[in-house]
Amino acid sequence: RKPITTAKLQKMKQDRVPISMMTAYDYPSAMLAEQAGIDMILVGDSLGNVVLGYDSTIPVTLNDMIYHSKAVTRAVKTTFVVTDLPFMTYHGSIDETLKNAARLMQEGHSKAVKMEGGTEIVPAVKALVQAGIPVMGHIGLTPQSIHQIGGYKIQGKTPAAAQKLMDDAKALEEAGVFAIVLELVTDQLAAHVTEQLSIPTIGIGAGASCDGQVLVFHDLLGYGGELHPKRFVKQYASIGELIRSGIRQYVDEVKGRRFPAQEHTFRMEEEFAASLYG
């Protein structure tokens, strides 16, 4: 497969070829995702929740994002890797924002950055785009503002909120983003935004009309995380169960002295052993 590029993603929208995206945070998972044919990997700041065990994405640092991006980008050859700019790394001066995004590209080797927000982040988006950094937008439910939003709920439900979301999408497109994540918005609003924009929309909890879909690795594969998956998640495997039962067998076999067996064990010649140890 040829490397996925922003131009290719644009063409996929035009040709109505759905774009597949998922998060990954380390080397083996990114390698498996590419082998399975994923178009885009997001090194999401959701790693704060699913990998680091925080209860939001707010404690996640730029260094955390770089560390995980390094592992992911080492694993892939053709997959387009986008990394989240974490909480408060694009709200200071333009200079700081440029420096932070540059670190994700130069140290993390990501191809693009993702930023949450609408019209209010347009100056920052423009500065990055002018510097040659592809930017992905993210509107609707924006987890970095969870305490301001006041909970994990569907966005754009009133006419005014829907109009605001549409305006944000347009402003981001004009600022030069190559794609926009729509998180937790109604099917109809996502369809309308997707139709009004010429760049791809990537939905999560945003219905089937988006140009692409994104899911979190741990949700998609049933790896740790929640007992009751969110409504918009489809769990395609239960790797948490597999891991637990594998570990349980290992524990049982160690306790029962069934592991290691002969085939896992090294021995010297019997005569030599006898001469040494009787």
**Least distance between Na ion and beta carbon 268 (Å):** 55
What are the φ/ψ torsions at residue 81 (nearest 5 degrees)? Answer: -105, 125
> Of residues 19, 76, 204, 221, which one binds ligand KIV by CB under 6 A?
204
Q: Is 45 in the site for ligand KIV (CB under 6 A)?
A: yes
CA R_g for the chain: 23
Strands (E), 66-178: 80-84, 112-116, 135-140
> Of residues 62, 216, 220, 221, which one binds ligand KIV by CB under 6 A?
216
Q: Which is nearer to ligand KIV, 44 or 127 (CB)?
A: 44
Report the DSSP beta bridge partners of residue 55: none
45 is in an annotated binding site: yes
Contact between 136 and 111 under an 8 Å Cβ cutoff? The reply is: no
253 is in an annotated binding site: no
46 is in an annotated binding site: yes
DSSP summary character for residue 151: S
* Best CA proximity match to 236, nearest among 30, 101, 36: 36
* Best CA proximity match to 58, nearest among 91, 26, 29: 91
Active-site hit among 34, 173, 183, 226: 183
Q: Is 181 in the site for ligand KIV (CB under 6 A)?
A: yes
| Residues found near ligand KIV in the complex (CB under 6 A) | 23, 42, 44-46, 84, 138, 181, 183, 204, 214, 216
Binding-site residues from annotation for 3-methyl-2-oxobutanoate:
45-46, 84, 114
Residues with a catalytic annotation lie at 183
